[in-house]
Amino acid sequence: MATIAAESVTKAPRGKVFDYLADSRNIQQWFYGVQKVEPLTELIRGLGSTYAITLNVGMPITAQIECIEFVENELIVVRTFGGPKASSRWTFADEGDGTRVHGEFDYTLPGGVAGAAMGRLVKPFAAIAAKQTTANVLKYAGR
């Protein structure tokens, strides 16, 4: 498993940043490389909300995502199921008059030749995606 983390501070209040990130309808706007988001439940945020995403990492990958931990204004954790293994964890904390946002992205690639080939695409993408996704969250949530 590989982990990539990114962290930034915005002047926006924590509740505003959290609400923006928690709403799955916003994912395509802030999550780098996401081409499509399709809700799989009526829940758009919170524990148990599920959706399918199509992500371009040099090739399109579709994954189903479920929110498995959710603490209002503090924590969001999602994981994939029925596809590539990945998860992300977002924490939110007050920082002066603003908010510190920390994102961690974990992913596991398959073994063998296919996994090695996929790794050559995913690893550089993941490093860029972590930084750009965090920057996008701060840009759009801070409006």
Entry pTM: 0.84
Which residue numbers in the chain have pLDDT < 70? 1, 109-127, 142-143
Domain boundaries, the chain: 2-141
Which numeric CATH code is attached to 2-141?
3.30.530.20
The pair of structure tokens assigned to 134 is 């965090």
In this prediction, residue 111 carries a pLDDT of 65
In this prediction, residue 124 carries a pLDDT of 67
CA–CA dist 73, 116 (Å, integer):
38
Tens-place pLDDT, residues 8-31: 888 999 999 999 999 999 999 888
CA–CA dist 19, 13 (Å, integer):
10
In this prediction, residue 39 carries a pLDDT of 94
